[in-house]
Structure 1
Amino acid sequence: MAFTGLVIALLCGVGEAIAYTAVQLGRPNADIGSLATGLAIRGGIYLAVLGVAVRMARGARWARTVLTVGIGVIGLASLIIEPLAATLSAKQISDLFDNLTASAVIIGTLRTGHILAVLIAIPAMYHPSARRYFRALASQR
């Protein structure tokens, strides 16, 4: 369950990055270089997370710790800061829905899926069945 949650989070993150880039490319002043750099950085991060998640699934306990800090703390904070700031700066809740576009709904849905997948994956890595799994793999080595 933890690995599946991490993969779903990654897929949501990739989808969000692509959707965001597509929206930005539709604007007349699109900075293609900046968008390409952003995609490359995100792509590198997502590949690294996938690599660590695979190691975790193979029983590497260190990978579980890295994912907990990297995805469960730093990554989750980066996903929540922007919507939280928008919510706190709104004078009324209805202000958050002014000028709502289809692309904003898609990006918001992907972000929500990303957050939910992380909130499922991280605790699943520490579930008693996961602990048994890590112990069993460690005893086979």
Structure 2
Amino acid sequence: MTRMPTISQRSARRTGPADQAPPAVLAAMSLWLFAVAAGAFEAVLIVTQMLSSGTAFGELLPQIAFRLGVFAAAVLLALRLREGRNWARLTLAVGLGVFGTLSLVVEPVRWLLDGGSIGDAVAAAGPMDLLFAGSRILHLLAVLGAVTLMFQPRANAFFRGRSA
């Protein structure tokens, strides 16, 4: 008569080396978390600037709440990558990889198309502007890197081999 494995034995089998997320998935997860941190930093800079220019805090609450919701969702989805949740990978790729990236670049691209000059912008930039631009560039690179890593061959195999 064979005994049914205990919960800890079943759990130990699921978390063996073959079930561990490959380095590309772990790196993608880390880049998503970095992108969230960069986005939060940018939000703090924006709120600080708006408050110093006389905007009432109450007027900023809807924007702050929306950003916090997006950040929380992104963190939860990024953590699900490690578990091999393909739905999390696809949600991150479409939601933040496509639409999030567009939200990061649409305003600067529009400004450039209207005749803006990067050289003039850098020359006129203050420390806060340069800090924001640096963070935004790192933020964008983290998103693009995370999306790329999530669809590497080893990552694809990992997500294909998982259920749900």
Seen in structure 2, the aligned counterparts of structure 1 residues 88 and 98 have a Cα distance that, compared at 3 Å, is: farther
Equivalent residue in structure 2 for 1:15, among 9, 32, 41: 41
1:7-65 alpha-carbon deviations (Å, 9 max, x no partner):
111010000000111111111x3132222221111011110111111122211111111
Partner Cα separation in structure 2 for residue 136 and residue 63 of structure 1? 15
**Does residue 100 of the first structure (1) align with residue 125 of the second (2)?**
yes
Q: Which runs of 4+ in 1 moved over 6 A?
A: none
More helix by share: 1
Structure number with bigger Rg: 2
Paired residue type of 1:79: L
Paired residue type of 2:102: A
SS at match of 1:74: helix
Partner Cα separation in structure 2 for residue 91 and residue 113 of structure 1? 22
**Does residue 3 of the first structure (1) align with residue 54 of the second (2)?**
no
Segments of structure 2 that go 5 or more residues without pairing to the other structure are: 1-26
Q: Count how many residue pairs are aligned between Structure 1 and Structure 2.
A: 138
**Does residue 39 of the first structure (1) align with residue 64 of the second (2)?**
yes
The match for 2:153 is: 128
The match for 2:139 is: 114
Q: How does 1:59-98 map to 2 (within 5 A)?
A: 59-90=84-115, 92-98=117-123
Equivalent residue in structure 1 for 2:81, among 52, 56, 62: 56
Segments of structure 1 that go 5 or more residues without pairing to the other structure are: none
CA contact (8 A) 1:90 1:96 kept: no
- Residue 68 of structure 1, CA deviation: 0.8
**Sequence identity (%):** 31
- Residue 74 of structure 1, CA deviation: 0.3
- Residue 107 of structure 1, CA deviation: 0.8
**TM-score for the superposition, normalised by structure 1:** 0.88
Seen in structure 2, the aligned counterparts of structure 1 residues 131 and 98 have a Cα distance that, compared at 3 Å, is: same
